[in-house]
């Protein structure tokens, strides 16, 4: 079986800990030395890795880390019970909201950037959740 963890590069691990613990109620698990912290409290473990701006992403990648707002096709979605309360909490912690909270067939969606330029979303699912997206031509699993 494959398991899943989430690694998030940040330029300052303590600033990352402050944001993610305040915004999402996560707590510190283990510290693996300076610049490497495990956060617990989500369905998966989240690891913050301190990496300096402009350092090489991978050998021969031709790209470097940047912490201004950047786009990635992969981003975390945090499922919340109350999107208005969660939005207030992440904004107080230092996130920037991108656009307005909007209705979707599966519930409410709000898009943000953390203080390190990484995008993330808050989702408050309705009773159907993603099943609301299945058409009569699609098939329902489970």
| Tens digit of each residue's pLDDT, the chain (142 residues) | 789 999 999 999 999 999 999 999 999 999 999 999 999 999 999 999 999 999 998 888 888 899 999 988 899 999 999 999 999 999 999 999 999 999 999 999 999 999 999 999 999 999 999 999 986 454 444 4
pTM, two decimals, is 0.87
Number of domains present in the structure of the chain: 2
Q: Are residues 133 and 75 in the same domain?
A: yes
Whether residue 142 is contained in a domain is answered as no
User: Exposed e or buried b for every residue in 56-92, given b needs 16+ CB within 10 A?
Assistant: eeeeeeeeebebeeeeeeeeeeeebeebeebbebbee
Tell me phi and psi for residue 100, to 5 degrees: -95, 155
Q: Which of 44, 47, 51 is nearest to 65 (CA)?
A: 51
pLDDT value for 135: 64
Closest CA to 63 of 53, 48, 73: 53
- Residue 128: give the domain boundaries: 70-137
CATH of the domain at 7: 3.10.180.10
């Amino acid at each position: 079986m494959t398991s899943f963890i989430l690694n998030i590069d940040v330029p300052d691990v303590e600033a990352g800990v402050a944001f993610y613990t305040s915004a999402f109620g996560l707590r510190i698990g283990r510290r693996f030395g300076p610049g490497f912290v495990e956060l617990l409290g989500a369905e998966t473990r989240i690891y913050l890795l301190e990496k300096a701006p402009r350092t090489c992403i991978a050998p021969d990648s031709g790209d470097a880390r940047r912490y201004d707002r950047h786009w990635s096709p992969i981003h975390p979605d945090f499922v919340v019970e109350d999107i208005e309360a969660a939005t207030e909490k992440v904004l107080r912690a230092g996130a920037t909201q991108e656009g307005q909270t909007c209705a979707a067939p599966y519930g409410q969606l709000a898009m943000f950037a953390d203080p390190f330029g990484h995008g993330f979303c808050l989702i408050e699912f309705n009773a159907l959740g993603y099943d609301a997206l299945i058409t009569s031509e699609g098939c329902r699993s489970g």
